[in-house]
């Protein structure tokens, strides 16, 4: 699949403010600064559809982007960002949890992890939460341009080993770099296969 049009639709603070047209949604989540907004721009061939920032915590609302007038990409706020107040963090996590558990239109969740890091506690806990709630999700390794191919592969292998300890079935995994436009077809072909 190649995307022909991508338009910003709306930003929502609460799930009940999200679009009500029933179009299917594919959402992107992960730690703050992992590259969610950059990935959305890469997939849609746009430079600044989703706002990218070197400072973590840029995306603070649920952002809907209408793709080819048929489906939505949803940019969710990053979790685990320390430099917001406790109250704000609680608000974010409530927003994310409610979106994930209540949003019937959400077909699939892409969980982004930084390919340079070993499995992080916060991500593993999040995966646990997704598994326990039967949320369909896959893991997207980001910023693969920053590592050699060998290092990327050993990082993925480590992730598999860690997940195997708790899960029989492993989620689908994607290797990406927004910088190098890597992984675009595998992500978009997967989306197409879900619709």
* Site for ligand GTP, rule CB under 6 A: 32-38, 52-54, 56-59, 78, 142-143, 145-146, 177-179
| CA atoms of 103 and 94, how far apart (whole Å) | 13
Least distance (Å) between residue 37 CB and Mg ion: 3
Residue number with CB closer to ligand GTP (19 or 57):
57
Q: How far is CA 45 from the centre of its chain?
A: 17
Q: Which residue is nearest to ligand GTP (CB)?
A: 78
| CA atoms of 36 and 38, how far apart (whole Å) | 5
Pairing of strands 6-12, 62-67: antiparallel
Binding partner at 145 among Mg ion, ligand GTP, none, C-beta below 5 to 8 Å by kind:
ligand GTP
Nearest to 152 by CA among 178, 183, 115: 115
Binding partner at 38 among Mg ion, ligand GTP, none, C-beta below 5 to 8 Å by kind:
ligand GTP
Least distance (Å) between residue 29 CB and Mg ion: 10
Binding partner at 119 among Mg ion, ligand GTP, none, C-beta below 5 to 8 Å by kind:
none
Binding interface with Mg ion (CB under 5 A): 36-37, 58-59
| CA atoms of 66 and 71, how far apart (whole Å) | 6
Least distance (Å) between residue 58 CB and Mg ion: 5
Residue number with CB closer to Mg ion (52 or 144):
52
| φ, ψ of residue 140 in degrees (nearest 5) | -110, 115
Residue number with CB closer to Mg ion (37 or 142):
37
Q: Which conformational region is residue 4 in: left (phi greater than 0), alpha (psi within -120 to 50 degrees), or beta?
A: alpha
Residue number with CB closer to ligand GTP (21 or 146):
146
Q: Are 108 and 139 in contact (CB under 8 A)?
A: no
Binding partner at 44 among ligand GTP, Mg ion, none, C-beta below 5 to 8 Å by kind:
none
Least distance (Å) between residue 56 CB and ligand GTP: 5
Residue number with CB closer to ligand GTP (106 or 115):
115
Residue number with CB closer to ligand GTP (20 or 54):
54
HSE (side-chain half, CA atoms, 13 Å) at 122? 16
Q: Is 185 helix (H, G, I), strand (E, B) or coil?
A: helix
Q: 């072909």: which residue's tokens?
A: 189
């Amino acid at each position: 699949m190649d995307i022909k049009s991508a338009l910003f639709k709306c930003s929502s603070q609460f799930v009940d403010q999200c679009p009500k047209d029933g179009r299917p949604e594919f959402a992107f989540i992960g730690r703050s600064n992992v590259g969610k907004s950059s990935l959305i721009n890469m997939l849609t061939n746009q430079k600044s559809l989703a706002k990218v920032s070197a400072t973590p915590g840029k995306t603070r609302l649920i952002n809907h982007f209408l793709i080819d007038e048929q489906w939505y990409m949803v940019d969710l706020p990053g979790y685990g960002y320390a430099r917001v107040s406790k109250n704000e963090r609680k608000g974010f996590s409530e927003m994310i949890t409610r979106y994930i558990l209540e949003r019937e239109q959400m077909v699939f969740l892409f969980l982004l992890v930084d390919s340079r890091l070993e499995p992080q506690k916060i991500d593993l806990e999040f995966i646990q939460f997704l598994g326990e709630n039967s949320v369909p999700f896959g893991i997207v390794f980001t910023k693969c341009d920053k590592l050699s191919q060998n290092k990327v592969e050993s990082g993925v292998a480590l992730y598999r080993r860690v997940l195997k300890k708790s899960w029989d079935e492993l989620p689908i995994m994607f290797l990406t770099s927004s910088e190098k436009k890597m992984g675009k077809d595998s992500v978009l072909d997967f989306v197409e296969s879900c619709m």
